[in-house]
Amino acid sequence: MIKKGLLFILISGTLILGNSSIGGFGQGQNVIKAKAASRETDAEINDMVMIVEVQFQDGQPQITRVLTVPGLYREAGRGARPGLVPTADVPSLVMLFGEGGRQLFEKEFHMPRFLTVPMGEQASLDIIELRNPKVAVVLPYFEDASRAVVDNQGRRTSVDVRLIEETRLPAQMPRFERAAANADKLHVLILSNGYSAGSLSSFYAAADAIRGFLLSLEPFSGSTASIEVNAYPNMADLGCYHNCGGTDRLICCNGTSVVAAAASSGYLYDEIIVVHNSTVYGGGGYTDGGNYRTNSYTSFAVTYGGDASSRSTVKAVAVHEFGHSFGNLCDEYSYGGTPGNPVCVNCRPACRDWSAWDSGCLQSCSSRTDYYRPTNSIMNVLSAGEFNQASIKADFFPDGLAKRLAFFTGIVLLAPENFTVQRIENNLLLAKEYVNRLSWRANSGNLVDTSSYKLYAKPKDADDSQYGLWMTLNGSATSTDHRYLKKNDFFTYKLVAVDASGRESPAAFCGN
């Protein structure tokens, strides 16, 4: 019971979780520190969460479990995100009530709609429609919560959380450091499953590869400062297994366990990638039908962990499945005409939807032989090494990767594109002036108009601290000249787009 759980909370102690020194992770990054502190001094219980597991049966919700675990609660995409919330369907609602029927909290949520299968050597149906999905929703912990109610378009269920609550509190209760005040970031959490303490180095190596690969790809590469990818050495059983649904390369995990592990990790988790300790090729990715406003973490991705020899495949599988789970992207290869296709931005009835950004127009994709796909990408073949521009820049439902990323980061302007410098010699007859002609174009993935550009410059090879604001240009500008340069004057430039509210895009760089 919750009261019983609180007794555990009163026990103070010190515990360090997730602190690894292997690879790029775990070194000073959000290490979860349990501090010896008295609970009685805290008015809020902000380091526990309640997880409500809801099973849908033909649209009728049923609350199957309620867990209380140590963890962080946060709302993704806090703050106004005008134009960034697609509305595919009416969300479900979970509400918490206290004694006397007083409503404590409510939260909209969506459920996974499809489960995707990693591509195989032969064409096969690589998508499974989840007709009766199960979803685990993380809620803040309320000490006096007594009843949870789930509403799915008028179809309701409720349960006395005091009766069915399942508490997983450790003997020594970890204390979480609060999330950073500036949480305008996309937080990707990579969770291990099935690794022992002795084999965690392999997990970290895989996580490092995934992180590096993901952040090298557009649109993520342009917002690396706003994307936090953490690896957490989860030791709990997430229930992952191969041969899910009879497909050997499909790895399924227990969604509630995954969400609980993420909440307990101490890291923030807008999106989750599970790395399952296996050398057998496989993975999976949930898509939620296009919604990313709420509980985006429930549509997580899974990849096998592999070993050193398969690292490049592992990272490609992870990013491909992330394309499904985060981007709601379709497979761009053809399953061979089997019906049943989620709405996505990269497999459409016509190419005109993306023709502004992507010239590709090839027939047959996913389960539709009559649909079209854009240029080759990692959603077509794992070796493609990039998402195509249609998948990145789509501004139509259910939105491309850039727009989805902006929902979390608040970055509505992307780094200017094609930012280049051309060295020109200006013949002043008795003198030679050198001119750096800078040109660029507004990123076609921008979600609002560019109001102005800030152009910074520093001497070539100078430290980044030497960047100085050189000029501010009108938002319609696409070029400018840096004049009055002598033969050996070389510079590096940083260009930032600014919207009418003063929000700045990530920077684009170029130099001599």
Partner 1 sequence: MSTKKLLGWIFAWILPLSSAWAGLRFEGGALIGARFFQNDDLKNAYGGALLVYPHVSLVFGPVFLGGGYHFGETQRGSVGMFQDAAELMVAGPEIFVGLQAKLGPVLPYVKAGAGFYSYEQKFLAAALRDFNVKGRKQGFCVGGGLKLPIGRVFRLAFAFDYLSLHASGIDSELDMSGIRALGGFGLFF
Query: Is residue 3 a contact residue for partner 1 (CB under 8 A)?
Result: no
Q: How many residues bind partner 1 (CB under 8 A)?
A: 14
424 binds partner 1 (CB under 8 A): yes
> Residue 182 or residue 488: which is nearer to partner 1 going by CB?
488
3-state secondary structure of 363: strand
Question: Which of 36, 43, 171, 429 touches partner 1 by CB under 8 A?
Answer: 429
Q: Enumerate residues 7-66 that contact partner 1 by CB under 8 A.
A: none
Of residues 433, 444, 475, 511, which one binds partner 1 by CB under 8 A? 433
- If the CB atoms of residues 196 and 422 are measured against partner 1, the closer one turns out to be 422
Query: For residue 285, what are its two tokens?
Result: 């990715």
List of residues 6+ apart from 184 with CB closer than 8 A: 78, 79, 226, 408, 409, 410, 411
- DSSP symbols for 198-250: GGHHHHHHHHHHHHHHHHHSTTGGGGGGGEEEEEE---S----BSSBTTBTTB
Q: Rounded to the nearest whole angstrom, what is the least distance from the CB of residue 480 to partner 1 in the complex? A: 13
Closest residue by Cα to residue 74 from 270, 291, 326, 292: 270
Closer residue to partner 1 in complex, CB, 376/512: 512
Min dist. Cβ of residue 191 to partner 1 (A):
58
At 21, list the tokens. 């020194």
First to last CA, the chain: 66
Given the rule CB under 8 A, which of 30-38, 231-239, 273-281, 427-435 is the region that contacts partner 1? 427-435
For 315, residues 6+ apart whose C-beta sits below 8 A from its C-beta are: 206, 209, 210, 212, 213, 214
Beta partners for 61? 56
Q: Which residues in 469-488 contact partner 1 (CB under 8 A)?
A: 483-484, 486-487
CB of 379 to partner 1, least distance (A): 46
> Residue 108: which of 292, 273, 266, 287 has the closest Cα?
292
Nearer to partner 1, 199 or 426 (CB): 426
Interior angle at CA 505, CA 502 and CA 507, nearest 5: 130
Q: Determine the Cα–Cα distance for residues 59 and 244; give it in Å rounded to an integer.
A: 23
DSSP 3-state assignment of 108?
strand
How far apart are alpha carbons 393 and 400 in whole angstroms? 5
The nearer residue to partner 1, 154 or 468, going by C-beta atoms, is 468
Burial of 145 (0-12, 13-18, 19+ CB in 10 A): buried
**Least distance to partner 1, CB of residue 483, Å:** 7
Q: Which stretch binds partner 1 (CB under 8 A): 3-11, 156-164, 375-383, 432-440?
A: 432-440
Report the nearest approach of partner 1 to the CB of residue 409 (Å): 39
Instruction: State in angstroms the smallest separation of the CB of 434 from partner 1.
Output: 9
Residues 485-504 that bind partner 1 (CB under 8 A): 486-487
Q: Which residue has the tokens 């070029």?
A: 479
Nearer to partner 1, 157 or 439 (CB): 439
Smaller CB distance to partner 1: residue 131 or 483? 483
Between 215 and 435, whose beta carbon lies closer to partner 1? 435
Contact segment (CB under 8 A) with partner 1 among 56-64, 258-266, 384-392, 431-439 equals 431-439
* The binder of partner 1 chosen from 431, 461, 468, 502 (CB under 8 A): 431
Q: Nearest distance from residue 429's CB to partner 1, in Å?
A: 6
Q: How far is CA 264 from CA 31, 60, 68, 140, 160, in A?
A: 12, 29, 10, 13, 24
Residue 432 within binding range of partner 1, rule CB under 8 A: yes
Give CA angle at 365 (363, 367), nearest 5°: 125
Nearer to partner 1, 484 or 509 (CB): 484
Among residues 31 and 435, whose Cβ is nearest to partner 1?
435
Residue ranges that bind partner 1, judged by CB under 8 A: 424, 426-433, 435, 483-484, 486-487
